[in-house]
Amino acid sequence: MNQAVQVFQCNDCLVVVKGKVNAITVDTCKKTSIVFDDLVSSMEFINCDRIQAQCMGKCPTISVDKTDGAQLFLCKDALDVQIFSSKSSEINVSVPQASGDYVEFAVPEQFKTTWTGKGIHTECVDKM
């Protein structure tokens, strides 16, 4: 529970993390899947390409930075997760339904900023 897992420069891998760890960082990986049980703090992706993550327990935070293509599969215990994303594209979140099926949602990746007369206002642009 006090230890962190670092996954670095993996290609075409499946990494399974058993038990409860503090944090997992996946850095500069391609086409890599990671399956984990419980996290105390965060799951972090940085500089990745086409990655998948499947969470089997609690996970307070997922952060995705400089990553193109991320499939995040949540479980029921992880529905209160906060997902932070920056400089990334094609992030999808799959959420389990009562039926057991997953429904996929695309995370916005573009900002629209306008001047309000007093300051700037920025909103997310949803691709529909």
Min dist CB 87 to a second copy, Å, is: 5
Q: Which of 102, 87, 97, 13 is nearest to 45 (CA)?
A: 87
Min dist CB 85 to a second copy, Å, is: 5
Q: Binding of a second copy at residue 124 (CB under 8 A)?
A: yes
Token digits for 92? 């999808």
Min dist CB 89 to a second copy, Å, is: 6
Site for a second copy in 61-120 (CB under 8 A): 74, 79-89, 93, 95, 105, 107-115, 119-120
Token digits for 56? 């089997």
Q: CA 100 → CA 11, 40, 97, 107, distances in Å? A: 30, 25, 5, 22
Residue numbers at the binding site for a second copy (CB under 8 A): 74, 79-89, 93, 95, 105, 107-115, 119-120, 122-126
